[in-house]
Amino acid sequence: MKLNELRDNPGATKKRMRVGRGPGSGKGKMGGRGIKGQKSRSGVAIKGYEGGQMPLYQRLPKRGFNKPNRKSYAIVNLGLIQKFIDAGKLGTEITETELVDSGLVRRRLDGIRLLAKGELTSKVSITVTGASAGAAEAVEKAGGTLTVTARASETEAA
């Protein structure tokens, strides 16, 4: 086989349909768009338009409420903390800045909240913004201490 003999498998490639190239092409004159109307023109984006009728998304009732100043916490599970301790990325004194520096949490957001997923076996001292009851219980059971603090911005505002 030579380079000039290379071919694709029969039927692997299909020729592009050239629209609007005369009646013999099978897609001549109107180019498969039908006769007149908005959709036969170029540059039309209809999407949610229902021909002057009130669109469905506007007819349906709105539900719920999104609190504009809600808190967003970075979440950490106990199992992940134990994994990072075993890997030597975290020590026995764990604060929010150490969690970010170790790479366990990307950003603090409005604080870091500790959840009880996974198991903690090391005796550690953890200081975070929030914690679930199960997480607090698991830390004490392992012989460690858990301190829940308010962020500096919250204490200044109060």
pLDDT (tens digit, 9 = 90+) per residue, 21-42? Answer: 999 999 999 999 999 988 888 8
Does the pLDDT value for residue 45 go beyond 90? no
User: Residue 89's Cα: distance from chain center in Å?
Assistant: 26
Phi and psi dihedrals of 81, rounded to 5? Answer: -60, -45
DSSP secondary structure, 97-155, as one string: HHHHHHTS-S--BT-EEEE--S---S--EEEESEE-HHHHHHHHHTT-EEEE---HHHH
Structural domains of the chain ordered from first start: 74-151 (3.100.10.10)
Q: Which tokens in the block code for residue 32?
A: 């498969």
3-state secondary structure of 3: helix
Least confident of 48-52, 90-94, 131-135: 48-52
DSSP secondary structure, 54-98, as one string: PPHHHHSPP-----TT---BEEEEHHHHHHHHHHTSS-SEE-HHH
d(CA 61, CA 32): 39
3-state secondary structure of 94: strand
d(CA 28, CA 19): 6
Please name the residue that has the structure tokens 């498969």. Answer: 32
Does the pLDDT value for residue 158 go beyond 80? no
Nearest to 124 by CA among 73, 89, 150, 75: 89
- How many residues make up the chain in this entry? 158
pTM of the model: 0.56
d(CA 129, CA 96): 8
Report the pLDDT value the prediction gives residue 153, as an integer from 0 to 100: 52
Q: Which tokens in the block code for residue 12?
A: 């692997």
Average pLDDT, the chain: 89
User: What would the mean pLDDT of 102-125 be, rounded to a whole number?
Assistant: 92
User: What would the mean pLDDT of 100-120 be, rounded to a whole number?
Assistant: 92
% of the chain residues with pLDDT over 70 = 95
pLDDT tens digits along 67-92: 999 999 999 999 999 999 999 998 88
